[in-house]
Amino acid sequence: MDRKHVPARMHSPPLCLDCSDPNSAERYSNVVDTGLQEIEVETRKGVEENCKVSSGYHTLLVGDCYLIVKSSKPISETT
């Protein structure tokens, strides 16, 4: 892909919202639970011993654009 076709935002540092709790973002935007989760898997000698949800993803509608936000808490803990 030719670099001139990639939006300039992709070459900039990530945006940082001033909210630590995705639920508090509702006063700024429309928040949608994507259902996507990041899973941490602990293994010992190649065998899975434990897994847990380490974070969740929300989509914020900001104007006419969507912003994907990674939450430090799993979605189940924030809703």
Q: What is the pLDDT of residues 59-68, one digit of tens each?
A: 887 777 888 8
Higher pLDDT, 32 or 6: 32
- Structure confidence by residue, pLDDT tens digits, 35-44: 888 889 999 9
C-alpha separations of 13 from 16, 18, 23 in Å: 9, 15, 24
Higher pLDDT, 70 or 3: 70
pLDDT at 31: 76
Residue 69 has pLDDT above 80, yes or no: yes
Residue 11 has pLDDT above 60, yes or no: no
Higher pLDDT, 36 or 8: 36
**What backbone torsions phi and psi does residue 22 show, to the nearest 5 degrees?**
-55, -30
> Measured between alpha carbons, how far is 46 from 55 in angstroms, rounded to an integer?
23
| Residues 6+ positions from 38 with CB-CB distance below 8 Å | 53, 54, 55, 56, 57, 70
Nearest Cα to 66, choosing from 38, 35, 29, 36? 29
The DSSP call for residue 28 is: T
